[in-house]
Structure 1
């Protein structure tokens, strides 16, 4: 089985922790010595060096100053911030509601020319109808217990999805057949959503693949992931969003997407699966 998609984030944290430990050892300081110079408990030094507690910018400044390594401050702060942005819990990103989260993706979307999206269980956000998005975001809001700004979040999602129609970008969507069958909202909402999904497949810059239940699997279902060009992957877990930027890991997701692509059906066969899902709603 593959390693956790959060492994790269943990590795980045451990790299920062290891570098801080090296600075302490190079300065000839014990953990207790460093704690005294920084004005904190020695247990904090241990937690930071073992990557159990991520250091704040102030912690890094104090650490480097105590070790006489002020020239390392900027690089270590940058590395630490990068590590912490790789694995971000939804409770942090959604604490004020969902509108700001929707808007936060716009700069990344505008920089991207090729999107590859895999979803095992829901219709991807780019091709959601307002009613479907409302039902989905309402469920998320209730589950998370966060401020209800669903109407504003849906408008933000619809606005950012307009790039699907500007003709400047390419989109490849892969969805498991289960995404067509799971009911988000009532039958009317699902029927409208599936009909819209079927129509978007005709756009010249869109490729829509459906992986049937009957496909002979050479690649197991994955967590939902978004590949932006060949440089960045965002993976959606229940508790967090993981951002993968290490070239080897990005390449692994691209390889997995290629394998899933081979399992999917397209064109008339894909539309037939969507039509079948619509017909079962009654």
Structure 2
């Protein structure tokens, strides 16, 4: 959780406390009126728990200020998009960010990912991953522990073989052609993609050149169950947890999925790109 996020949550808690006091209620009295444990009221007021939209509506009604709900919701919306600077995230090197990805994957049952110009990290070979991470490190000026980051990325891939998890990937055909390393490394990466097709925990879809799309995939994004969307930009990552953002990205996923080829068709498409590379 970022400092900016916590500062905003604390400010929202202070506003909730102010509304409670204006209604002449103490924490226990408000908790009794809401049917909540007093600890929940305390945590919300002190910025130690993030209120849901329903929490805010119940609070506003309980203090006799339903008119304050739009204000409270606007304050909460400012918390829901957490912008994380890449320079800050990578200050300790790439490995720490990969460890964070391992943790998110571990608590997720369904992972859905859209990638536009590169292969998803969960499907990358070691050499391909090294090239991607090294290029990112050089671009951002934080060249640290690339080998450790590669090892962590490969550990994350162990989740692909967990029968209690499911992974759905949509990759634009551009990612099959975009090379960030030598032809041999890229060829091996395409071989890896083809080998993933058929694994019972993985569904791999390709968005072919020339297919009609209801919406173009303007950027990559990852959806973790229905609790988190991560969007990567050049300078930041956005960690989105609000319901509206999640629904928006799920709709984008559905629209893209409808244009993807899977199974044998996907295998043939990848195979054609692989054949053009030769033996590598």
Same fold at TM > 0.5: yes
Matched, 1:148 2:148: no
**Superposed CA offset, 1:140-176 (max 9, x none):** 1111111321111000110111100122211110000
Aligned partners of 2:247 and 2:15: how far apart in 1?
Answer: 31
Contact map agreement 1:233 1:250 (CA 8 A) in 2: yes
**Superposed CA offset, 1:44-87 (max 9, x none):** xxxxxxxxxxxxxxxxxxxxxxxxxxx79853465599939811
Change (3 A) 1:277 1:170: same
Matched, 1:124 2:120: yes
Matched, 1:75 2:46: yes
Corresponding position of 1:168: 164
Aligned partners of 1:262 and 1:113: how far apart in 2?
Answer: 22
Q: More displaced, 142-151 or 253-262?
A: 142-151
Matched, 1:279 2:270: no
**What stretches of structure 1 of length at least 5 have no aligned partner?**
1-9, 28-70
Corresponding position of 1:179: 175
Match of 2:132 among 115, 130, 136: 136
CA-CA distance at 1:257 after TM superposition: 0.2
Corresponding position of 2:260: 264
Corresponding position of 2:242: 246
SS where residue 88 of structure 1 aligns?
strand
Contact map agreement 1:95 1:147 (CA 8 A) in 2: no
Aligned partners of 1:223 and 1:202: how far apart in 2?
Answer: 26
CA-CA distance at 1:22 after TM superposition: 9.4
The alignment's TM-score, normalised by the length of structure 2, stands at: 0.73
Matched, 1:219 2:190: no
Matched, 1:115 2:86: no
Aligned partners of 1:275 and 1:87: how far apart in 2?
Answer: 38
SS where residue 86 of structure 1 aligns?
strand
Change (3 A) 1:15 1:150: closer
The alignment's TM-score, normalised by the length of structure 1, stands at: 0.73
Matched, 1:201 2:197: yes
Corresponding position of 2:185: 189
Contact map agreement 2:8 2:79 (CA 8 A) in 1: no
SS where residue 152 of structure 1 aligns?
helix
Q: Give the CA RMSD over aligned residues.
A: 3.1
Contact map agreement 1:89 1:240 (CA 8 A) in 2: yes
**What stretches of structure 2 of length at least 5 have no aligned partner?**
22-41, 51-74
SS where residue 210 of structure 1 aligns?
strand
Q: More displaced, 76-85 or 244-253?
A: 76-85
CA-CA distance at 1:241 after TM superposition: 0.9
**Superposed CA offset, 1:230-256 (max 9, x none):** 221111111111111111210111111
